Amino acid sequence: LQVRSRAAKRALAVRGMMEAVTWSFIPAAHAELFGGGKPELRLDNPIAAEMSDMRPSLLPGLVAAAQRNADKGIGDVALFEVSGTYEGDKPEQQRRVASGVRRGTAGLEGSGRHWAGNARNVGVFDAKADAFAALEACGAPVANLQVEASGPSWYHPGRCGTIKLGPKVVLGHFGEFHPKALEVLDASGPLCGFEVFIDAVPEPKAKATRTKPRLDLSAFQMVRRDFAFVVDKTVEAGSLSKAALAADRKLIAGVNVFDVFEGASIGEGKKSIAIEVSIQPMEKTLTDEDFEALAGKIVDNVKKQTGGVLRG
């Protein structure tokens, strides 16, 4: 856990976030908001009335720290913490968690106004990227993770997600904070955050070594092809991307979603998702027939897994 904690800290610091160390004790109202408030986690003799409960989450302390910065004129701030949280009073009920918050315009690309473009407020996708960066640093198999469009009550519905490995293992949550949660925390937005459970990340099957795997570089040029699929509105872009990637993992180096469109021309209850597929030959230059065959496999796999059809 110590190795993973250090790796998560480095990954989040590289993303422009500053490390914070917050109190392990928080107000009872904040603890209840974040799923705590249990009698066994309430202190008999707290040092202050607002430090009565052991924290069930790192987020209340980080939100409070971000708000203190905002009150002093530093509204664009990104903070993270890697520490313990408490689900009960037993040793096995203490968790190792990496959490972070971004406020105002404190995105990965920088904060504040700039002559080259308009400032952008942080949102759910900033928190998602931070969460995945921390999980990847901890050794989680990020290519196999699923994101569900739901989350705990302190996040805004429709603007949050839960990261899972399989149907049962929850590795984290992310999203924009619910206005009612910010009201209880006496904070203001825009504000987004995440928390990933380091102790839930499975150990790698192979023993970790200091030797890096061999770097195989192709002598052949990468080719990018665009596809647009019409799917039901309920289909997630991530599901479509995974279906396209799984069509041929030896040739397809990556899939990027670059457009989502809804309108009368698409049809009722439908949407269009456009993806860019990066194709990297390793053994030979691909012919037109090879590309056509690969495109057919992509279209067939997307239809099989998501029901999507190629947009005409």
The residue extents of the domains of the chain are 2-200, 223-310
Residues forming beta bridges with residue 277, ordered by sequence position? 225, 255
Determine the pLDDT at residue 24: 92
Architecture of domain 2-200: 2-Layer Sandwich (3.30)
Determine the pLDDT at residue 115: 65
Determine the pLDDT at residue 107: 83
- Looking from the CA of 117 toward its CB, the CA atoms found within 13 Å total 7
Tokens found for residue 60? 């209340």
User: C-alpha dihedral over 22, 24, 30, 36, to 10 degrees?
Assistant: 140
* Buried b or exposed e, range 179-198, using 16+ CB within 10 angstroms: eebbebbebbbbbbbbbbbb
Read off the DSSP letter of residue 204.
P
Among the listed residues 70, 280, 100, 81, the one whose alpha carbon sits nearest the alpha carbon of residue 187: 70
Indicate the burial class of 40 (C-beta count within 10 angstroms; 0-12, 13-18, 19 or more): exposed
Determine the pLDDT at residue 129: 94
Question: In whole angstroms, what is the distance from residue 292 CA to residue 210 CA?
Answer: 41
Contact present, 265 and 311 (Cβ < 8 Å): no
Among the listed residues 97, 75, 237, 103, the one whose alpha carbon sits nearest the alpha carbon of residue 161: 237
pLDDT means per 10 residues in the chain (312 residues)? 92 95 93 90 86 93 95 93 91 92 86 71 93 94 88 93 92 96 92 95 71 79 93 90 92 92 90 94 91 94 93 82
Contact present, 100 and 61 (Cβ < 8 Å): no
The 10 Å Cβ neighbour count of residue 136 is 16
Q: Which residues contact 276 (CB under 8 A, 6 or more apart)?
A: 224, 225, 226, 255, 256, 258
In CATH terms, the fold of domain 223-310 is Alpha-Beta Plaits (3.30.70)
